[in-house]
Structure 1
Amino acid sequence: MNKVWKIKKEVLKLIMESSKSSYPNEFGAFLRAKHNIIYEIILLPGTVSGGSSVLYNLLMKPIDFTIVGSVHSHPSGFPIPSRADLDMFSKTGDVHIIVAYPYTMNSWKAYNRMGEEIEVKVI
């Protein structure tokens, strides 16, 4: 059975503001959840953002079972995973969010580790 994911509205707003601040580069972080509610983002030291990618220093990712996936932005305006995104999704958690320019509460999508679109409810 698939998990039902939720995200706190203030966390989604923080993601959008961080993405706007990083524009025209991508923004990237990891997601922390409890009881399938995403309540926090985790920034990894050594993360490098560019115009078309985010490179995470995964050696800095803590061993922490509350980290359930990732979030990153697409300055292009299309919240569709690339081949590199799909590869990362398969290795780094169960829920992944892509936010797209212009970074509004309606310009994002969520995916599972296989790259299939899933619903994440904003609470």
Structure 2
Amino acid sequence: MRTIDQAAVRIHLLGHAVEKPVTRGQLQALLARHAYQIHPSELTIVLDDLVAQNMLDRHRRESGGESITEFRTTPAGRMSWARDCRTLSKLAREVFGAELPTMPAALCAEDPAIPDFPHRPP
């Protein structure tokens, strides 16, 4: 995975776990919706790294007799996520100016409900 993709995945993981506790499976599905194809074992490594860096908390809860692992962004993770979002926003303005360029149709995700590409071509 390219460095920029790794950073994007990290921002997505921290951002989704800010909203509410999420499972590994939910995160895998969210990344897929954003067109990131990441192998489950690779996702586990990224999540373990974020836990080790105190960016995510990992906790287990019982549901219907089975143990479910959930992740939640820590206060340090929220601060890091906010800094990363500001940096990414600044970079986008520096590179693209006030308006993002239109995404070529071949590069757009197939799901029109994904809001990541606000300038999707008709």
Q: TM-score range by the shorter chain?
A: under 0.3
Q: Which has the larger radius of gyration?
A: 2
Whose helix fraction is larger, Structure 1's or Structure 2's? 2
The TM-score with structure 1 as length reference comes to 0.27
